[in-house]
Structure formats: C-alpha cells, structure tokens
Amino acid sequence: MKPLTKAEEQVMLVLWQIGKGFLKDIIEETPEPKPHSNTIATLLKILVEKGYVEYSVQGRNNCYEPTVSKAEYGRKSAQQLVKGYFEGSPAKLVSQFVNDKKLSLQELEELLQQIKNAKNGKP
C-alpha cells in the first residue's frame, strides 16, 4: 500500500466520512480553504491508481467510494510510524507517550487490561 500525501489524505478523510459520493459531494464536504475542483478530480484519479478508491459511472458522473477503510489505513500508518521512528517497537511508542505525559494512568491501565485480555484470548 503506497503512502498518501497530505492532500490525498484530506480527500480520503472526506470519503470515509460520507461513504461514497460524486465530485461535487466531495467538494462540498472538503474543509476550507477548498481546493479547486480540478485539483480534487486529479487527487481522486491518483487515489484510484493507488488502489484507495474505486468508482462507478452513473450517467455522466463518477461515484467514488473508498476501497480501504479508515481503520485499515490507520493500522498501516501506525505500523509504518513504529517501524520508521521507534525501531519497530510499539512499546517504545507507548513509552514516548508516557514520557510526554500524553497518556493518563487510567488509559495505561486500560491498555494493560487489553494486553491481558489479548493474551487470554478475550476480545
């Protein structure tokens, strides 16, 4: 899966929010300042080529729909982040959040419980 540029990610965020839509729908939901419609159309073409989006022709317009879920993209992005900046260790990422005081004690306890549940085969 090829990484997304910031502009491509912005279009994907809109598509994940609306589920599927035409160019005009995507433009309407894009936050200000809105890029030109040609720019969004070009980004959609690139996203189709990268395999993130598919489209169906409806009349004279294309209806775009994501082929990759937001959760799946988030997982892949997190894996790349851990691999690239934390020597492949998720524990080092969590440790960084702890050191930066970005995780509360309650959140850490919830993470620990999730880890225990995963080891015991519980959802």
- What is the model's pTM? 0.80
* Res 121: pLDDT: 78
CB 90 within 8 A of CB 73: no
C-alpha 11/C-alpha 30 separation (Å) is: 7
Q: Which domains does the chain have, with CATH numbers?
A: 6-66 (1.10.10.10), 86-123 (no CATH)
pLDDT tens for each residue of 34-61: 999 999 999 999 999 999 999 999 999 9
C-alpha 108/C-alpha 72 separation (Å) is: 24
